[in-house]
Amino acid sequence: MRIVIARCSVDYVGRLSAHLPLATRLIMVKADGCVAIHADGGAYKPLNWMNAPNRLIEEPGRWVVTNPKGETLTIILDEVLSDSTHELGVDPGLQKDGVEAHLQELLAANPEVVLDGLRLVRREYPTDIGPVDLLCRDAAGNAVAIEVKRRGEIDGVEQLARYLERLDRDPLLRPVRGVFVAQSIKQQAKVLATARGIVCVEVDYDELRGLERDELRLF
């Protein structure tokens, strides 16, 4: 990973236009080619970025990042304060907590809990940005990617959307439907999922494990 701290301005041209005026910022260039510009604030989200695949051309005082979609990210470097490269090695990936991992196992064993007619193709199906939890086929043979969380939040929807974008590049899979599964899903996450064409499904962990609810029943 390359980490650059510089006084810079940034212009993006693509689906819309955006401008970041001159200020000191962190520029990250990851091994996969992703370029992200961060401020010292605003939590984890970059101010602007360009996902891989892309092309980075470095000129004196200027970086130009382009991608096959015709988008352009231009970084004007007024002053470079630090420029370092670090080898991070192979990342082992996110380790799910016990409930989330078991939830994934239960759904892999019985994917029809999510949607009728689903059959499992593979757990932890790999993409070049990480594995999607479950890859399935529906009754019509179409690919369905499922991301499983204990609590469904916006981050999980965005994660699945990124996986779908990568999976859709495979002619043997596309078009790939997305399903976001969790024990409970926040309303904001549902709104974002709907906007991205992703289906939300809430499941009961205890019922999947075959445990009955501790409540009164009439027989």
Complete domains list, the chain, with CATH: 2-85 (2.70.180.20), 98-208 (3.40.1350.10)
Strand pairing report for 143-152 and 177-185: parallel
Between 51 and 83, the more confident residue is 83
From residue 15, alpha-carbon distances to 12, 42, 54, 72, 169 in Å are 9, 23, 16, 10, 20
Section 175-195 average pLDDT: 94
**Amino acid 93: pLDDT:** 59
With a cut of 80, say whether residue 97 has pLDDT above it.
Answer: no
User: In the chain, pLDDT over 70 holds for what percent of residues?
Assistant: 91
Section 50-67 average pLDDT: 93
Kindly state the tokens that stand for 23.
């200020």
pTM of the entire predicted model:
0.57
